[in-house]
């Protein structure tokens, strides 16, 4: 694919008043008719005239909204597409909570990011383990979570390029008199691979996985070797805890306090540039112009809020949400199916496109050209789910 052109970061002055949803002409979607035996037809909402709002950084928001549909609440749909031009100084960014077990609402991330133009929720996560992201995470050149399998992620370069790619960890642990072992996991939610798993303060305070022994390293030396019930403690500031099972676990258990240890690892990617930031992603809706609409199985065909990122051939970056208006027993319904979202991303001009977390996580916040901060996918007063990371422009 053609990577977006380089963007330089600039400061954008703005006030931070959270506003209600944008107003404008309401347009209605045409009735749906089945276009396949197992796939819902894609509504023709994008053929209508959208409400257009100019955002900071030269970005533009377009909104298509059916308005309420009392006879069929799930047919109520709002699609928001924010285009960040390739020439914009608003570089794509990954922002994350203080550690992997905590989360914040998207508006809180946004209000702490004065250069941000638009921001959406990030990747899928497990709310039962604090707020643990399911997939890799990297911010400001700092790898915080990864494993040796090649996991899907949106990756960015320091100069502002970005694309849907894969990310994995490469590294090793060596110890005087003991040789070395590969690092196969960093702050992962389960022990990964047959090598060494490392845990740092980025993990947070939640109890973590452990193997045969926990070796605590600080200042390049072993300061503790823990077995039995003392395993599973979290790393203090300046510490890295090494753990493993099998052969690698026995190797760690042979260490003694004072042993010199060298730990090195870095993020690897199949992107054509060094990765600077990364957030886990879902399946690709489009891959160099080829659409992947999913399987139209019962899960893929659920009408749910969706969040997606797209890249045009000319390098523009698209932030897109599809939201419904129906809420039943606290769960949001309506929005788009996987098949429909792929259609929407293609019609919006994406050459590549991938999804992020959806459902109750779907949120889009933006800064207008006048500096006002607004929520675009739903009313500004509506509840937001706390998430462990977000993806933004600026």
User: Taking all residues of the chain, what is their mean pLDDT, rounded to a whole number?
Assistant: 89
Q: Of 317, 221, 326, whose CA–CA distance to 263 is shortest? A: 221
In percent, how much of the chain has pLDDT > 70?
A: 90
Higher pLDDT, 198 or 68: 198
197, β-bridge pairs: 185, 243
pLDDT recorded at residue 107: 98
Cβ atoms within 10 Å of 263's Cβ, excluding its own: 17
pLDDT tens for each residue of 29-72 = 333 333 444 788 999 999 999 999 999 999 999 999 998 888 88
pLDDT recorded at residue 27: 33
Q: For the chain, give every domain's residue range.
A: 18-32+50-135+281-393, 168-268
282, β-bridge pairs: none
pLDDT tens for each residue of 216-270 = 999 999 999 999 999 999 999 999 999 999 999 999 999 999 999 999 999 999 9
Arithmetic mean of pLDDT, 370-384 = 95
191, β-bridge pairs: none
pLDDT tens for each residue of 72-127 = 877 889 999 999 999 999 999 999 999 999 999 999 999 999 999 999 999 999 98
Secondary structure of residue 75 in the 3-state scheme: helix
Phi-psi region of 235 (alpha: psi -120 to 50; beta: other; left: phi over 0): beta
Arithmetic mean of pLDDT, 323-346 = 86
52, β-bridge pairs: 62
pLDDT recorded at residue 292: 87
Can you say whether the dihedral through the CA atoms of 266, 267, 269, 271 is positive or negative?
negative
pLDDT(156) > 50:
yes
Contacts of 116 (CB under 8 A, 6+ apart): 90, 93, 110, 367, 392, 393, 394
Arithmetic mean of pLDDT, 359-385 = 96
Q: How far is CA 164 from CA 84, 173, 230, 314, 369, in A?
A: 17, 30, 40, 16, 28
Supply 93's token pair: 């960014």
What is the Cα–Cα distance from 68 to 326, expressed in whole angstroms?
A: 9
pLDDT(293) > 70:
yes
Secondary structure of residue 212 in the 3-state scheme: coil
Q: How far is CA 102 from CA 99, 123, 124, 145, 253, in A?
A: 6, 14, 14, 14, 31
pLDDT(299) > 70:
yes
> Considering the domain 168-268, what is its CATH architecture?
Sandwich (2.60)
In percent, how much of the chain has pLDDT > 90?
A: 80
What is the Cα–Cα distance from 63 to 52, expressed in whole angstroms?
A: 7
pLDDT recorded at residue 34: 36
Question: 381 near 105, Cβ under 8 Å?
Answer: no
Quick one: pLDDT band at residue 5, thresholds 50, 70, 90? Answer: very low
What is the Cα–Cα distance from 23 to 130, expressed in whole angstroms?
A: 37
Arithmetic mean of pLDDT, 335-341 = 94
pLDDT(22) > 60:
no
Arithmetic mean of pLDDT, 183-208 = 96
Q: Of 286, 365, 323, 332, whose CA–CA distance to 79 is shortest? A: 323
Question: 354 near 341, Cβ under 8 Å?
Answer: no
Supply 162's token pair: 């970005």
């Amino acid at each position: 694919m053609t990577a977006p052109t380089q963007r330089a970061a600039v400061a954008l002055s703005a006030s931070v008043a959270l506003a209600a949803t944008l107003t404008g002409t309401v347009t209605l979607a045409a009735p749906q008719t089945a276009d396949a035996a197992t796939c819902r037809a894609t509504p023709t909402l994008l053929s209508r005239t959208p409400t257009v709002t100019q955002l900071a950084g030269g970005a533009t928001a377009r909104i298509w909204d059916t308005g309420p549909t009392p006879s069929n609440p799930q047919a109520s749909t709002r699609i928001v597409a924010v285009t960040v031009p390739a020439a914009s100084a608003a570089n794509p960014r990954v922002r994350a909570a203080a550690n992997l077990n905590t989360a914040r609402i998207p508006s809180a991330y946004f209000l702490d990011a004065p250069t941000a133009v638009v921001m959406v929720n990030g990747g899928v996560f497990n709310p039962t383990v604090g707020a643990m992201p399911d997939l890799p995470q990297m911010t400001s050149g700092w790898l915080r979570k990864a494993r040796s399998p090649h996991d899907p992620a949106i990756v960015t370069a320091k100069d502002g390029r970005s694309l849907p790619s894969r990310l994995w960890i490469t590294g090793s642990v060596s110890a005087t008199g003991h040789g070395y072992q590969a690092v196969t996991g960093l702050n992962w939610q389960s022990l990964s691979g047959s090598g060494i798993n490392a845990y740092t303060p980025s993990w947070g305070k939640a109890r973590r996985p452990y193997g045969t022994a926990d070796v605590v390293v600080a200042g390049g030396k072993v300061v503790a070797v823990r077995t039995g019930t003392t395993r599973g403690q979290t790393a203090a500031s300046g510490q890295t805890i090494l753990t493993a099972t099998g052969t690698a676990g026995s190797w760690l258990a042979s260490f003694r306090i004072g042993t010199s240890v060298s730990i090195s690892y870095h993020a690897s990617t199949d992107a054509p540039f060094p990765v600077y930031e990364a957030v886990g992603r879902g399946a690709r809706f489009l891959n160099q112009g080829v659409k992947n609409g999913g399987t139209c199985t019962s899960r893929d065909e659920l009408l749910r809020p969706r969040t997606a990122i797209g890249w045009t051939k000319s390098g523009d970056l698209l932030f897109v949400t599809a939201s419904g208006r129906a809420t039943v027993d606290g769960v949001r319904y309506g929005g788009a199916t996987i098949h429909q979202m792929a259609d929407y991303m293609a019609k919006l001009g994406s050459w590549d496109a991938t999804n992020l977390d959806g459902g109750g996580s779907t949120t889009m916040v933006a800064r207008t050209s006048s500096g006002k901060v607004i929520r675009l996918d739903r009313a500004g007063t509506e509840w937001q789910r706390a998430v462990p990371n977000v993806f933004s422009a600026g």
